[in-house]
Amino acid sequence: MTSQPPPPPQPGAHAVPTCYRHPERETYVRCQRCARPICPDCMREAAVGHQCPECVQEGNREVRQARTTFGGAVVAAPRVTWALLALNVLAYAAEVVNQNEVIQRFAMYSLGVHLGEWWRLITGAFLHSPPPSFWHILFNMWALYVIGPELERRLGSTRFAALYLLSALGGSVAIYLFGTVAVGASGAIYGLFGALFVVSRKLGYDARGVLWLIGINVVLTFVVPGISWQGHLGGLLTGTLVAAGFAYAPRGNRVLVQVGVAAVVLVALVLLVTALPPYGYPPVGIRT
């Protein structure tokens, strides 16, 4: 038994509408925005009816994205803070496995940097006093855990990452110029202390508690033996300058000014290392 093909449409008959993205599929649903026919696979829920994928994407581009007080993208979870915590803990685990190798190759060492081992300027800021000393990494990671999420949510993840790394670099450059050997994230942590003060002042909060925190830690820097004052003060100064540039950038061209401040600080730190020799004395300790 054979079947006959359907007769051709009569003149004047209406064609069956098909999805504009899948012409083989019949549909009687149209996009509420552009009125093109769409099949169930192309339907996207809208406030009223459905929209096609292209109209949804266009609408998303037109929606103004929420920003933080200082221009960064809104942070739902402080992922940069957690990543920095993880990197520090992993570096400490590497010290536990092979202490001598890790310290010798990656600690901040002024003469090594002067001879071309530039990576020490950053890697040294992720190391800490090796076992059996644990208070060093515990204090720094506790401070990062307490301060980091608040600053990251205020500044945005990208700006917070730049603040942390530039503060760490600033501490290492100060060690290069006036110290000798050191390890520790304290340069970056002190940079966060300075940034917390700047942000608090900018937002109109009472910053006296932050000043007490900074003052006590600065005193401890010079009272407790074996601590690198160069790394602490270098990180504090750098973090304060970077945070001031981020917080007080004019709204009209905020991003340009913020990027410019970070770039100027980075270039200045690099020039200090390339143009000046280390002036430090023989090593007296390795903690920062």
Catalytic annotation, residues = 186, 232
Give dist(CA 10, CA 167) in Å, integer.
78
> Which residues are registered as beta bridge partners of 37?
30
In angstroms, the CA 156 to CA 63 distance is 19
User: Tokens 């007769």 label which residue?
Assistant: 7
**54 burial class (0-12, 13-18, 19+ CB within 10 angstroms)?**
middle
129 touches 184 (CB < 8 A)? yes
| Element holding 188 (H helix, E strand) | helix 186-202
CA atoms 125, 131, 133, 135: torsion sign: positive
Rounded Cα distance, 161 and 16, in Å = 56
How would you class 270 by CB atoms within 10 Å of its CB: exposed for 0-12, middle for 13-18, buried for 19 or more? middle
User: What whole-number distance in Å separates Cα of residue 222 and Cα of residue 225?
Assistant: 7
Residue with tokens 């929209």: 51
Q: How many other C-beta atoms lie within 10 A of the C-beta of residue 173?
A: 26
